[in-house]
Amino acid sequence: MAQAPIAHGAGRSTQARNLHWLLTNLVDEVPGILSVAVVSSDGLLLLSSDPGRNGEAAHAEDGEGPRGSSADLATIVSGLGSLTSGAAKLMSGGLVKQTMVTMDEGSLFVMSISDGSLLGVHATPDCDMSIIAYHMALFVGRAGHVLTPELRSELRKSMESAQ
């Protein structure tokens, strides 16, 4: 199971603390979650869980760092979100609500939050997909109105200062 989301700075706003609490609950309450990322519309990581703390992140073959890190998940979520939005546009399908990718060794879920922001979840191969999708929808319903441009800016600065 994933560890609690990365917390940066004691002087966070109430909205940032609330969003962090929502993500912590998602990670702690839903079995099978390996990593979670909230990504802005421009692909920047805003909030994440930290899979590296419990040793679940594997090392890349070239030795340049962990595979499956929060930054990697944010990149994948952003790219998949862009790809599926483009596909929906070409197919006149409207807005993409959720994308799910099942793999031999895991699952990836991407759900729209608001203003192009995305919630991405990497889960175990034996996860209960309906439970994860349900809890993601709860998170999105609760976080969507909170994720204002001001809060996105605060979260982005918090993530940048941690690097």
Contact 37, 73 (CB under 8 A): yes
Residue 19 CB neighbours (<10 A)? 24
Written as six digits, the tokens of 144 are: 């969507």
The CATH number of domain 14-162, selected from 3.40.50.620, 3.90.650.10, 3.30.930.10, 3.30.450.30: 3.30.450.30
Domains of the chain by residue range: 14-162
Query: What pLDDT is attached to residue 60?
Result: 36
| Segment 104-157, tens digit of pLDDT | 999 999 999 987 899 999 999 999 999 999 999 999 998 888 888 888 888 888
Is the pLDDT score of 32 beyond 90? yes
Residue 86 CB neighbours (<10 A)? 11
Query: What pLDDT is attached to residue 159?
Result: 80
Among the listed residues 31, 113, 53, the one whose alpha carbon sits nearest the alpha carbon of residue 78: 113
Q: What confidence category does residue 10 fall into, taking pLDDT thresholds of 50, 70 and 90?
A: low
Which whole number is the average pLDDT over 18-30?
Answer: 91
Is the pLDDT score of 81 beyond 80? yes
Query: What is the pTM for the complete model shown?
Result: 0.81
